Structure 1
């Protein structure tokens, strides 16, 4: 089946001198085939699926899954070819597959069974005892013995080596470089994700008012997301950039537990995160309970204008390491105290919230300092957080597609300070 992501992967495999790649990280499997299931959310150490892609475009793209999960493929493809492959290899998972092979004479036929049988023609070889055996058999059957094969999981290479000897290459960094540039279909899907992100952040703002408990706000956002097919980042649904100790705001990089009801004048960092259609929402706005002071409103507007200056530089050929200085100089020029407290991070986003196309480890200080050169088709999340002490913090974040003519915003929510009233505004209905 045609798959633009596989075509991009094949081209990069050839450029790297690899004959094939074996992918077993859930994000890489989903990238190459579209396959995903609830099993991946168990976050087990061992993978439950794999994808094998050859550099040679005449070779098939292969999905390796438990035999019992054939029905999942059928469900994924009911409304269109979400899961694409040319060949399926199967293996046993625990004893689920073994049990499922027995026919229950009292169970009537079903559409699911019919759909699963419809893809049976794509299954090649025999069901293997485990995922490593299935990968090894596929390597042998397709004449890859002795070839150079990339793996995103070294253990899978080691487990297959004795029965299917090959030249091992680490493919983790390669896959990040492959995934960070999106196909036209992925960009179209993320525009839909962006529209949902706008609804989520608007709903979050509507829940804020003096006297509300922060935990209730989070529960309300989480409920809204789940009812609209968004998987929240966790039980809190969002990040909260600090907490209150009496009247003092204590800034924090990530969420701290709310320890009192919100009051007039409180600053609330709204960073809603979750997954829709496999892609991450990552949108951030700042809210104030009640009327903000003129000084804080000015601070927010200065940060917004500096943010827009950085946005204008989101173009092909520009390195992300040039962006923090733009924000810093803007704050400094406008008399903001301690402009060094401005945190700026530009990162790719997609199947993971942080996609940084640099060699491992890329998530440390060196990754931000080095940065990476933006390319057309990348999705870049620009994150700007000022940890101000006197007036309080201020934060905003948006995702942009990098195009030849300039950045295309994926979110339409205004980059303005959210002013929450003293009484609760009616929230958006869950299924609006």
Structure 2
């Protein structure tokens, strides 16, 4: 990012929280490589490469970032600069993994690493420290799962932007066009409505809609087709949208329309169940039970939702067996679907944020089977 989306104070609070969570987890430090966690903590974007970049957060003491000297200017343009975070730079020929040791006070026993850090770096860091590294995911996810006010504002912005695109989809879908042609129009609209880019565009018509992860094809959309449109991307702050609606071109089969109305009820039941203290699995069950009561249990092929923020998919996952209690500030999708192989499929997806007594729905375009074309 050329400019930080949030004030330095926001990043300072996130780092303080990460240090507290590190201490509470009994870890001496966590080592965070490039990826969503580093974006969240200091606003540093980038992919993991063979040259080590790592933010070291000790349980006691100040954080330090280890970075190739050629990346120094980029790193100082993040929260690292205004927060005056310690920097250890290195050049080719140095041993950057050894430098991690100098960023952790004392004689560490337990050190966690972010899940985005590859074995290329994890193994030598563990060797230099003389410890068996462990995943820092329980520490890092705890901070990211509970959105602060600034994050929620950006998720609202993303939700409104993708809703604006769905309103435009009505004029794009019509018989005779291919999925690819529609997807190209949608991708352009995603950018026009305020996103940095289109991260994904799914246009699944007719039998292609029965594949939850279908993207696009050259299939020609026909009259009466059910069309699943699942779209999203990041707004300039890096926070993501993700919303799915199901459309019909022309007149739907009455039985298909009846089943999609049941899906709409299932999605609403899950939204209505959201409140602090309810578990993620209970939200999943709220949708699943409606479908099961109508004989559609086997048509629901995936979990009900996933967390969202600087990543499109992050914790919490709204899935069977996840007994994590919901807390105020969590943000996630609610997206049950029904799929009939070789025939058609449907999915309805909103992003919600847990409030003190329920949830705020960030997507408000019509949820039922929507006529297009």
TM-score, length-scaled by structure 1 = 0.73
1:396 is matched with 348
| C-alpha spacing 1:172/1:323, structure 2 compared with 1 (3 Å) | closer
**SS state at 1:35 partner:** coil
Counterpart Cα distance in 2 of 1:199 and 1:76 = 31
Counterpart Cα distance in 2 of 1:71 and 1:12 = 30
| C-alpha spacing 1:394/1:150, structure 2 compared with 1 (3 Å) | same
Note the alpha carbon deviations across 1:366-392, whole angstroms, 9 max, x for none: x63345322221112111101257984
Once superposed, what is the RMSD of the aligned Cα atoms? 3.1
How far the C-alpha of 1:45 sits from its partner, in A, is: 5.7
1:86 is matched with 85
1:34 paired with 2:15, answer no
Counterpart Cα distance in 2 of 1:281 and 1:206 = 21
2:221 is matched with 262
| C-alpha spacing 1:18/1:412, structure 2 compared with 1 (3 Å) | same
**SS state at 2:222 partner:** coil
How far the C-alpha of 1:257 sits from its partner, in A, is: 4.3
**SS state at 1:14 partner:** helix
Alignment: residue pair count = 358
How far the C-alpha of 1:142 sits from its partner, in A, is: 5.1
1:51 is matched with 55
Note the alpha carbon deviations across 1:173-220, whole angstroms, 9 max, x for none: 432333222222222221222122212323333311121121111112
Residue 330 of structure 2 is aligned with which of 375, 378, 394? 378
Counterpart Cα distance in 1 of 2:103 and 2:52 = 21
Residue 105 of structure 2 is aligned with which of 107, 119, 143? 143
1:66 paired with 2:76, answer no
CA contact (8 A) 1:63 1:85 kept: no
1:7 paired with 2:33, answer no
**SS state at 1:89 partner:** strand
Counterpart Cα distance in 1 of 2:157 and 2:282 = 30
Counterpart Cα distance in 2 of 1:162 and 1:249 = 49
Larger Rg: 1
How far the C-alpha of 1:400 sits from its partner, in A, is: 0.7
How far the C-alpha of 1:144 sits from its partner, in A, is: 3.9
How far the C-alpha of 1:75 sits from its partner, in A, is: 5.4
2:304 is matched with 345
Counterpart Cα distance in 1 of 2:331 and 2:136 = 21
How far the C-alpha of 1:284 sits from its partner, in A, is: 0.5
CA contact (8 A) 2:183 2:202 kept: no
Counterpart Cα distance in 1 of 2:16 and 2:176 = 54
Q: Which moved more, 1:290-299 or 1:178-187?
A: 290-299
| C-alpha spacing 1:184/1:273, structure 2 compared with 1 (3 Å) | same
1:195 is matched with 160
2:26 is matched with 17
Counterpart Cα distance in 2 of 1:349 and 1:194 = 11
| C-alpha spacing 1:159/1:349, structure 2 compared with 1 (3 Å) | same
**SS state at 1:353 partner:** coil
Q: Which moved more, 1:402-411 or 1:182-191?
A: 182-191
2:278 is matched with 318
| C-alpha spacing 1:85/1:254, structure 2 compared with 1 (3 Å) | farther
Counterpart Cα distance in 2 of 1:8 and 1:55 = 11
TM-score, length-scaled by structure 2 = 0.83
2:181 is matched with 216
1:290 is matched with 250
Residue 279 of structure 1 is aligned with which of 233, 239, 253? 239
How far the C-alpha of 1:221 sits from its partner, in A, is: 1.7
Counterpart Cα distance in 1 of 2:315 and 2:84 = 27
2:146 is matched with 181
| C-alpha spacing 1:46/1:407, structure 2 compared with 1 (3 Å) | farther
2:170 is matched with 205
Structure 2: runs of 5+ lacking an equivalent = 1-7
| C-alpha spacing 1:13/1:210, structure 2 compared with 1 (3 Å) | same
2:360 is matched with 408
CA contact (8 A) 1:173 1:357 kept: no
**SS state at 1:401 partner:** strand
| C-alpha spacing 1:16/1:211, structure 2 compared with 1 (3 Å) | same
How far the C-alpha of 1:134 sits from its partner, in A, is: 3.8
Counterpart Cα distance in 2 of 1:295 and 1:84 = 60
CA contact (8 A) 1:27 1:351 kept: yes
